[in-house]
Amino acid sequence: MRTKLIAPLLMLFIGVTASMAQKGVTDGSRFGHGLDSIECLKHISIYTEYVKTNNFKDAYPSWKSVFNDAPVAQVSTYTNGTKILRWFIANEKDAAKKKSYFNELMGVYDQRIKYLDVLNTYVRNPNSKGSIIALKAHDYYTMGNPDNNVAYAMFKESIEAEKDKSDYFILQEFMESATKKLKADPNHKEQFIQDYLFASSTADAAHKAATKEKEKANLKLTKDNIDALFINSGAASCKNLQAIYGPKVAQNKTNLEYLKQVLSVMEMLGCTEEQAYFDAAEAANAIEPTAATAIGCGYMYYKKGNLDKALEYFDQAISLETNVEKKADYAYKASAMLFSKKQLSRAKQYANRSIALNPNNGNPYILIAQLYASSPNWSNEPALNKCTFFAVLDKLYKAKSVDSSVAAKANELINTYSRHTPKDSDLFFIGLKRGDKVTIGGWIGETTTIR
């Protein structure tokens, strides 16, 4: 009697349990319910043990069951899944099967992103979408036969999201992908330059943010490799930049951000002699004058032979610049420009202006000495004209006394110009001797001591 009663009850229990069974993918639970939850936990246990011994072949069926039936069971479903599928891709000889595993691997990343918010509740350090896209991009780029445009887009999306948290290999692979894109499409040149600036600046920022020595070393090497890829691409030539930016500067004369971008790129690559640089500098300066845009215009007007216009921009740059040493340097360069055009008096004025701004720079003193030496004659008396070289020597001695970095150059010029000073016998006939002071006339207007 009891046996007859137990049998129907057992069948009823099994039926109720079975009716309560439901997969996690269906009801949104972590492991599912009823028999399905038991089955899920069993498969987790099986494939996890196989993964521990790198037996990925036998791990696959149970892992696949968990992946399909319980997508939010564990974060390790996805980290172990990538290990398993990478092994299959590496060891599969059949091309069709290899491609199938590759597509499955991409699906692992897609599903992980889909359930990322739930999965992140299980861990102390949540994963970002950008970091998952980076891993997907890496596997996509390094396995199978990927579409480079797809890889490029994924790398870029991940780096834009992760910024200085981007892994070093992602930054380098992005630049490699951008280089391939350039080779396939010459019209990508302008964007390729932006890609380089993006990758390079991100690598710099990541290097600064890194705290581990190995990480810093990897990022330093990555930055060097990124630079090498850019230089060897052929896109970095000034001729190419002129061809790229020349027409576009004309189209963007009111777009300050674009103009600044052009100036930054061309300055970085030393292409400040190109017409595009000049046009961008002048257009940017008209919108928002800065020392950098003004100096760019100044250089180009000098190159074109319009010295007065060049000096207007140099004066503007000196006025706008906040760094005193840079102000002094602009004044010194203006002096050198004037010297090259034989405008000696004006050149002296700018050199003295540079000295007033930065008295510890010896170069303006040397320039003034060269100005004097280039035009020593101010009197009908030859011996007095030779006295000009005492004033020349004064400036050279001053130069090396304030700035040891110019001592070698100053000494060389002292040896040269000392040979041009008057002899004692020449001075005797005009009533002068060593220790006397003499005022050099004309535009020089310096009082010096005979020695």
Mean pLDDT in runs of 10 for the chain (451 residues)?
A: 43 45 90 94 97 98 98 98 97 95 97 98 96 97 88 97 96 97 91 90 93 95 93 87 91 92 83 89 94 89 92 96 96 96 97 97 98 96 96 98 97 97 91 95 96 90
Sorted by sequence, the CB contacts under 8 Å of residue 352 that are 6+ apart come out as 364, 368
Distance in angstroms (rounded) separating the CA atoms of residues 165 and 203: 9
What pLDDT score was predicted for residue 10?
40
What pLDDT score was predicted for residue 260?
87
Among residues 136, 66, 75, which one has the least CA distance to residue 102?
Answer: 136
Tokens representing residue 170 in the block: 């992602």
Asked whether the beta carbons of 120 and 99 are under 8 A apart, the reply is no
Tokens representing residue 319 in the block: 């006025």
CA angle 334, 335, 337 (to 5 degrees): 65
Cα dihedral 287, 291, 293, 294 sign: positive
Among residues 159, 109, 110, which one has the least CA distance to residue 130?
Answer: 159
Q: E strands within 155-225?
A: none
Cα dihedral 371, 372, 373, 376 sign: positive
Among residues 262, 306, 265, which one has the least CA distance to residue 281?
Answer: 262
What pLDDT score was predicted for residue 272?
82
- Helices 324-340 and 344-357 pack at an angle, to 10 degrees, of 170
Distance in angstroms (rounded) separating the CA atoms of residues 8 and 17: 14
Among residues 382, 380, 398, which one has the least CA distance to residue 446?
Answer: 398
Among residues 192, 194, 200, 143, which one has the least CA distance to residue 166?
Answer: 200
Asked whether the beta carbons of 206 and 171 are under 8 A apart, the reply is yes
What pLDDT score was predicted for residue 20?
58
Enumerate the β-bridge partners of residue 33.
22
Sorted by sequence, the CB contacts under 8 Å of residue 166 that are 6+ apart come out as 134, 158, 159, 202, 206
Asked whether the beta carbons of 428 and 393 are under 8 A apart, the reply is no
What pLDDT score was predicted for residue 199?
94
Asked whether the beta carbons of 59 and 81 are under 8 A apart, the reply is no
The whole model's pTM is what? Answer: 0.63
* Helix H or strand E encompassing 196: helix 189-209
What pLDDT score was predicted for residue 66?
98
